[in-house]
Amino acid sequence: MTATAAVAAPSSDADAPAAKLTSLDVPQTPAVIGVDLPEDSTVELDAITVTSVEAPEPVVEEAVVEAPVEARVVTAEAPAEAATTTTVDAPTTEVATAPVEEAAPAPVVSGGNYSVVAIARSYVGAPYVFGGTTPAGWDCSGFTSYVFAQAGISLPRSSGAQLYAGTIVPASQAQPGDLVWWPGHVGIYTGNGMHIAARNPSAGTYEGPVYGSPTYIRVG
């Protein structure tokens, strides 16, 4: 016959093997272990008392992470380059300007006519005196006869007579140094539609535009 023996568990926590237990359901009946015993043997087993100890909560230490030390970057300054002065020629800008009109030079004529114009202009401003024949005072024909005489050409004294002192030419062919004649008045043509004459007591001798339709007389 096989008897069932009850084996007592260790009576204290110290006798029990170290174990970490949490919540554990333990049967209230003793464990049965198969042992061969005499038929008249009696085995008494004490009840096993198991005490559950709640495991302590694990302590989690927070890892202290040190911020990385920022690397100190040392930037070596490049040596300053030697200052150089560069001269850049500014582009030349051509500015269009209106051509300046220059006064037309006195026309050059052949023979004594050029001399006549130059002499006549030298007396601009001389006074007008009726019947006068010198720069101190002259009338129109006195002026022309005096100027031509300075150029070596003799003219009649009166304006009427001077009409026949040379050759009459068309206005289109008139040249500086020609006589320019109106009935009762005479002067010296200087070119470009201008003439010099002793005009009257208030105006005297001056150069101005040719007026009307005069007659041009080539002298010499």
pLDDT digits (tens, 9 = 90+) for 34-72: 556 566 656 565 666 656 556 566 555 554 445 444 544
Within a domain: residue 199? Answer: yes
Within a domain: residue 72? Answer: no
Residues 49 and 117 in one domain: no
pLDDT score recorded for residue 114: 81
What is the C-alpha to C-alpha distance for residues 193 and 45, in angstroms, rounded to an integer?
165
Within a domain: residue 148? Answer: yes
CATH number of domain containing 136: 3.90.1720.10
pLDDT score recorded for residue 80: 46
Within a domain: residue 14? Answer: yes
- Count structural domains, the chain: 2
Residues 47 and 120 in one domain: no
Within a domain: residue 29? Answer: yes
- Model confidence at 9, pLDDT cuts 50, 70, 90, reads very low
SS3 content of the chain, % helix, strand, coil (to 5): 10, 20, 70
- Model confidence at 220, pLDDT cuts 50, 70, 90, reads confident
Which residues on neighbouring strands pair with residue 209, listed in sequence order? 194
Within a domain: residue 87? Answer: no
By residue range, what is the domain housing residue 10?
A: 1-53
Is the confidence at residue 81, as pLDDT, over 60?
no
Mean pLDDT of 144-166: 96
pLDDT score recorded for residue 217: 97
Within a domain: residue 200? Answer: yes
Within a domain: residue 104? Answer: no
Of 53, 72, 96, the position where a domain reaches its end is: 53
